[in-house]
Amino acid sequence: MHDMIQIRCRCCELPQRVRDQPGEPAKICSACLEHCGADEVSVRRRAESHLEMALERLEAARRAADDVYRDRDRYKEKVHAAYGGREIAIRKLRALAENHEQMGKGVCSCRTRGRASMAILDQSWVRSMIQRLASAFHGGGVPQT
């Protein structure tokens, strides 16, 4: 039992997997072994099967590219849904923080004591969340559209 190795076929010039063999590694893929020869029939068969092989590769590459694009779109949607909600939340919280910047304990710049917004912003977890979200947004952590 031999392992498979990857070679660039000398005949079709495509990367191909061939059976590893003792001594010299194979230089021609198994598909091309069937059409080697200088006679007219072999030359024609070679051209036809090379075209088929190239089309197959092209189709496989196109499918792979489609998959990648689909995944990327799905990924992007998810990320945007997740970050979109956070972005709104952080915008509201930051606006709140800017409008009511703390000047002293329990007193904000608009000099009202005990406002609901101050009570919210006074909580350390809210402050740290604002910081964390702000650095996530401005630290390049969010994929750009």
Among residues 9, 108, 121, 133, the one that binds Zn ion under rule CB under 5 A: 9
String of contacts with Zn ion for each residue 32-71, x by CB under 5 A: x---------------------------------------
18 near Zn ion, judged by CB under 5 A: no
Return the residue matching tokens 């088929």: 52
3-state secondary structure of 14: coil
Quote the least distance from Cβ 80 to Zn ion, whole Å.
45
Q: How far is CA 120 from CA 115, 117, 142, in A?
A: 9, 5, 26
Quote the least distance from Cβ 3 to Zn ion, whole Å.
19
Count the helix, strand and coil residues of the chain and give each as a percent rounded to the nearest 5. Answer: 60, 10, 30
Contacts with Zn ion, residue ranges (CB under 5 A) = 9, 11-12, 29, 32
